[in-house]
Structure 1
């Protein structure tokens, strides 16, 4: 499967095969690809909680308003933003570059995020968005299906995964094997309704 096919065949699956299990090697392979997703200043401010334990998946299912996907899917991934990443030993984000570059990035991170909780939150959401698409396309390439989800009780989910205080849950993605094909797409808008050349008309 090539990238174009992965994009065109990726769908939000609602019914997963509860008997399909991913191996730990498959999960690791998926996450190794995921952490290649871009982040501003390479601060890698996403954090991922991967859940395969059935008892925890069932608790997540309850927090997700009793939707079946987390319970039946092979893997549940909670995508969270670490809003302290900008100051968490930032020189390591550019460890393969000269000290001058590392110090420049450190100063830039401090300037943008130190006094702006909004910037930290926005960046966490952006970073997790990039990572989420990577997860879904990589899963498709692996012959798997996925479902991005935001319909859950965030406070309850935070308790289940023991979310640190300086982290934010952005979304959840379930990965597994579909039990049945996805329904027909709801309907895409025309390209000229959403794409504007050079500026808004």
Structure 2
């Protein structure tokens, strides 16, 4: 396992060697300090999306899409739609994480289940019917369309940090306005906006996080 030396967040200030993935999780920040003179290259953008798309999803339906914006004029418009969050333009790249409200990938995905020998054709059809049926409930369908892409968004944030980039997620934006501006189909959900780009330097110290003893409930709440 790849490891790297890192300072822990333990109260005793001790050092320990821990897996690089854990260090990425523990050191990631939602940054706002971007290098406005640098650009995110297309290859890195595609790698970020490739990493995001490895997130888990219900039935492996992968109900997500990503809309990237790098045009300066369009970014200025997005800043307005995001209530004046100027760091979006400074980042140079905005990515809207989009969710499906309908099970549009079901036919392809369950055929892949069958082709891989994970289940026979009959079982694949039966399971697909169950998965598709869950979307008949509008609330459940919308929940799927938000929860699954949110996992992908976290992958994107971690990938950006591991690559030395700065990224910050936002839900504070005009959802209908941004959906219209980016020509989202009516059945697509604007889940999260992510500003990502080369780092502009150090960020403020992380604010305190709630202690494990406060948030971990054992056996019942």
TM-score strictly above 0.5: yes
Tell me how large the CA RMSD over aligned residues is: 1.5
Counterparts of 1:96 and 1:89 in 2: how far apart (Å)?
A: 11
SS, match of residue 189 in structure 1: coil
Structure having the higher Rg? 2
Q: How far does residue 95 in structure 1 lie from its aligned partner after superposition?
A: 3.1
Q: Where in structure 2 are the equivalents of 1:6-155 lying within 5 Å?
A: 6-84=24-102, 86=103, 88=104, 90-98=106-114, 99-114=121-136, 116-155=137-176
Which residue of 2 is the match for residue 181 of structure 1? Answer: 202
Counterparts of 2:35 and 2:159 in 1: how far apart (Å)?
A: 19
Instruction: Give TM-score scaled by structure 2 length.
Output: 0.84
Q: How far does residue 168 in structure 1 lie from its aligned partner after superposition?
A: 1.1
Question: Which structure has more RCO (C-alpha within 8 Å, separation ≥ 6)?
Answer: 1
Counterparts of 2:201 and 2:113 in 1: how far apart (Å)?
A: 48
Runs of 5+ unmatched residues, structure 1: none
Counterparts of 1:36 and 1:100 in 2: how far apart (Å)?
A: 27
The 3 A distance-change label for structure 1 pair 183 and 83 is same
Runs of 5+ unmatched residues, structure 2: 5-19, 115-120
The 3 A distance-change label for structure 1 pair 101 and 35 is farther
Q: How far does residue 130 in structure 1 lie from its aligned partner after superposition?
A: 0.3
